[in-house]
Amino acid sequence: MNRTIALAVGLLASLATPVMAQDIKVGTIFPLSGGAGPDGQTVTNAVKLMVGQINEKGGLLGRKLVVISKDDERTPAVGVSRANEMIAEKADVVIEGWNSPVTLAMQPILARAGIMDMTAVSKSELILGGETNPYAVRINSSNGFDAEVIAKYVVDTLKAKTVAFLTQNDVYGNGFQTAVEAEFKKLNFAGKVVLTEKFAFKDTDFRVQLTNLKAANPDAIIVTNSSNSSGLPAMVEQYRQADLKSTFVGAVGIMLTTVFKVAGDANNGIVSADIFFPDLAPFTSIPESTAFVAAYKKAYGADPDKSAALGAAAVQVWAHAVETTKSLDRKTVAEAIRGKPVKGTVFGDVEFLPNGQMKPRYVVFKVVDGKNAKLEALP
């Protein structure tokens, strides 16, 4: 509650204080209220932190940066209004996107106005399709690469003979499953997919599916579930209660802080992969990463999770491109990112594919102490 008031006051203050003409405006559009509010606030906080650090070092192109942060309420129609406001306030870059429909709705609006658009989290493949925004850039990993990592683990490391899917019935879940099955073919997977169970994003009761899965008793169950604040923790708890013996293999990036907070030790034994960890190698030996973790902890009193890292990296990547090109122009900046390597981000030295997708480095892990979110990296 206090945070919301502080936010409202901050917004009013940012409206009231005249922004100097030479300031560079960094816009953020994330859900700041409702169920996804805490997640959006995490990303926004990370952006603010990074912008603050750049300002401390003298800003960009000799100019100060200011953050304009807006709430998309997880609703595409609201996101569109916010994008229009960004155009009115002449933002130089907009960092956006917690969920795909909102990103997809805002994309054409920002693209038509010629504003540089950095997508931090939203995972839809359509974002990089080039149809609405030929200069799209996305930090979060894509289903294609994610599937490669998971399939490899299941086939090569776990050596599973029988596999089942527990899939979220939308483009994200089904797309991931299709990609994993394609990777199975590439890896000449000798085992069998014995069962596919689907559920809806909003579901919180999975006993029916788990009963079927238990009867099939596969070696591994590959799970997609992006409802990190209610569906997934409920699923993890019911998975343990139903006493399934199969290895719970979570899709890349689903094990966010809220899952550990809510489901605690029920998470023990889950295998998953992700692209950022505050306390696992190799990130503990990347100076930019450890510096970010320390600064975030100091500013907000908690370890930054992957979402925070995505927000921070979006700022770093954009700022790096602005600095090297000495320009704020959308095309120039985007071309300096797309298909190019970027050094010194919180993810380490990374590379962008020609379609704007960041190529992350993955760490496969196992949960050893769910209550304290302690993980163990797997080879």
Contact positions vs another protein (CB under 8 A): 1, 4, 7-8, 11, 31-38, 71, 73, 75-78, 80-81, 84-85, 87-88, 100-101, 104-105, 107-109, 112-113, 124, 126, 129, 131-132, 169-172, 197-205, 207-209, 211-212, 215, 229-230, 233-234, 237, 241-243, 258, 261-262
14 or 230: whose CB is closer to another protein?
Answer: 230
72 or 183: whose CB is closer to another protein?
Answer: 72
CA distances 91 to 80, 355, 376, Å, are: 15, 23, 42
Sheet of 341-345: strands edge to edge?
341-345, 348-352, 358-359
Got the DSSP string for 193-214? EEEEEEE-TT----HHHHHHHH
CB of 251 to another protein, least distance (A): 16
Question: What is the maximum span of the chain, computed from C-alpha positions, in angstroms?
Answer: 66
Rounded-to-integer distance, Cα 7 and Cα 297, Å: 20
Can you point out the beta strands (E) in the chain?
A: 24-30, 65-71, 93-96, 116-119, 137-138, 162-168, 192-199, 220-223, 247-250, 271-274, 341-345, 348-352, 358-359, 363-369, 374-377
261 or 297: whose CB is closer to another protein?
Answer: 261
CB of 356 to another protein, least distance (A): 15
59 or 76: whose CB is closer to another protein?
Answer: 76
CB of 377 to another protein, least distance (A): 27
CB of 325 to another protein, least distance (A): 26
CB of 147 to another protein, least distance (A): 17
CB of 360 to another protein, least distance (A): 22
Tokens linked to 368: 């050893």
Contacts with 10 (C-beta within 8 Å, 6 or more apart), sequence order: none
104 or 309: whose CB is closer to another protein?
Answer: 104
6 or 377: whose CB is closer to another protein?
Answer: 6
Rounded-to-integer distance, Cα 40 and Cα 76, Å: 15
135 or 283: whose CB is closer to another protein?
Answer: 135
Provide the 3-class DSSP secondary structure of residue 137: strand
CB of 156 to another protein, least distance (A): 31
b or e along 241-265 (b: 16 or more beta carbons within 10 Å of the residue's beta carbon)? eeebebbbbbbbbbbbbbbbebbbe
